[in-house]
């Protein structure tokens, strides 16, 4: 009988991180189970064409309404389902609960959670953050918080709900770095926890017309990638100064290193929080030899293929860092969370990082130049560390398999 895996927290479109993690998780678990069936919770009203994307990523979709009023109906219905074996309510709700009930395991694949600096410190926001963990537990399912960074936990509601969900509703935590391990341990959570690099390291790059064109440029000029981030823009002391700083670096590598610059949005939307809008602002200030890669219609592997054609990258987005390091591309990260240091430390590259609250154009240019001078050595160092990193991702997948095996053995003995 095929193993049924319910994935929550993933994204199919307009977000490199969500797509990359989803692809990595399905690849890792497909090597653990002979014929896994993946279902992804998908917020209703999402981008058109989600069904087509689901087919490309090898998952089925089940929609849910992300509003609080919808979620309020689920818990009592889940209790009825657990006690009486009956899914009550309207057809969409019954289908939703049956999907949970039929799953062998529930895996949350969102890469950062319960962080003081992400989301509002409100009761409703923090309740929502792990709500589906609780539904899974009510229905008797093993729940995994897959490769993620968690914490810090200083704010009241974040601390309260993080401790409750991680202690009582999760069976296994795959922490992306030691700092997450420390934060969770200090919170008093005793759930089994392993350090496991981001599953997106397993994502395969794909070629596109853009990546092939960049490969042609590299025969005569270095190609430098820049990933911008509205998260950094919104956190910067001077948001306009953040754009100027990225533009200063781009102009410098064009004039001094005769480079071609590609600005790579990771998170694309129609709202104000849109990396592509920031990318256009950077290129607008730079001019020639600088272009924006329109990633909105790309699959994650296609965006990764573009990053793989860069000689180096200045990355504000975590999964741009993953995509670069997993291809041996020297990477300088601008950070707003401990997750950046954690991933760079996998390869001994912590030197090439600055915090958004501390960096300025002149220091960034100096450090980036220093990294460029060492890029061949850095590339070799990164590539030599990749086999171990990927092996650790698969080790995390084996722990997931153990949970499924334990669950099925228990059911056979009942």
pLDDT at 46 over 70: no
pLDDT > 70: percent of the chain:
94
Q: Give the contacts of 255 (CB within 8 A, at least 6 positions apart).
A: none
Work out the average pLDDT over 232-251. 92
- The CA R_g of the chain, rounded to the nearest whole Å, is 22
Average of per-residue pLDDT values in the chain: 91
Q: What angle do CA 43, 47, 53 make, to 5 degrees?
A: 90
pLDDT digits (tens, 9 = 90+) for 90-127: 777 778 888 998 999 999 999 999 999 888 888 888 98
What pLDDT does 95 receive? 84
pLDDT digits (tens, 9 = 90+) for 287-336: 999 999 999 889 999 999 999 999 999 999 999 999 999 999 999 999 99
Work out the average pLDDT over 343-370. 95
CA nearest neighbour of 229 among 340, 351, 312? 340
What pLDDT does 77 receive? 72
Lowest mean pLDDT among 72-86, 219-233, 359-373, 384-398: 72-86
Domains within the chain, CATH numbers bracketed: 4-201+389-413 (3.40.50.2000), 205-386 (3.40.50.2000)
Instruction: Name the residue with tokens 């910067």.
Output: 236
What pLDDT does 69 receive? 64
What pLDDT does 45 receive? 60
């Amino acid at each position: 009988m095929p193993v049924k895996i319910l994935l929550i927290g993933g994204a199919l479109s307009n977000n490199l991180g969500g797509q990359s993690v989803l692809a990595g998780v399905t690849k890792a678990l497909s090597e653990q189970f002979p014929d896994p069936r993946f279902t992804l919770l998908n917020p209703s009203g999402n981008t058109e064409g989600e069904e087509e994307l689901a087919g490309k990523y090898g998952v089925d979709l089940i929609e849910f309404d992300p509003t609080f009023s919808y979620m309020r109906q689920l818990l009592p219905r889940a209790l009825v389902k657990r006690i009486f074996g009956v899914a009550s309510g309207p057809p969409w709700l019954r289908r939703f609960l049956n999907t949970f009930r039929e799953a062998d395991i529930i895996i949350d694949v969102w890469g950062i959670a319960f962080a003081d600096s992400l989301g509002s410190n409100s009761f409703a926001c923090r309740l929502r953050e792990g709500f589906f963990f609780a539904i899974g537990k009510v229905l008797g399912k093993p729940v995994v918080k897959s490769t993620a960074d968690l914490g810090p936990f200083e704010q009241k509601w974040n601390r309260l709900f993080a401790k409750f969900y991680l202690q009582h509703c999760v069976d296994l935590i795959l922490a992306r770095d030691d700092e997450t391990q420390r934060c969770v341990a200090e919170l008093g959570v005793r759930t089994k926890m392993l350090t496991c690099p981001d599953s997106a390291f397993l994502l395969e790059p794909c070629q596109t017309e853009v990546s092939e064109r960049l490969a042609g440029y590299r025969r005569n000029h270095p190609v430098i990638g820049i990933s911008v981030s509205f998260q950094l823009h919104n956190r910067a002391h001077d948001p306009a100064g953040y754009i100027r700083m990225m533009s200063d670096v781009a102009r410098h590598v064009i004039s001094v290193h005769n480079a071609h610059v590609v600005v790579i949005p990771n998170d694309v939307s129609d709202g104000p929080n849109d990396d592509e809008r920031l990318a256009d602002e950077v290129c607008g200030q730079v001019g020639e030899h600088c272009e924006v890669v329109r990633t909105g219609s790309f699959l994650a592997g296609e965006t990764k293929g573009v990053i793989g054609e860069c000689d180096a990258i200045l990355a504000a987005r975590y999964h741009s860092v993953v995509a670069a390091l997993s291809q041996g591309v020297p990477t300088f990260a601008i950070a707003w969370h401990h997750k950046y240091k954690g991933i760079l430390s996998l390869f001994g590259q912590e030197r090439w990082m600055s915090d958004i609250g501390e960096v300025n154009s002149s220091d960034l240019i100096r450090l980036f130049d220093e990294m460029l001078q060492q890029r061949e050595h850095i590339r070799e160092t990164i590539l030599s560390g990749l086999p171990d990193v990927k092996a650790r991702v698969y080790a995390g997948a084996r722990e997931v398999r153990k949970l499924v095996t334990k669950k099925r053995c228990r059911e056979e003995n009942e």
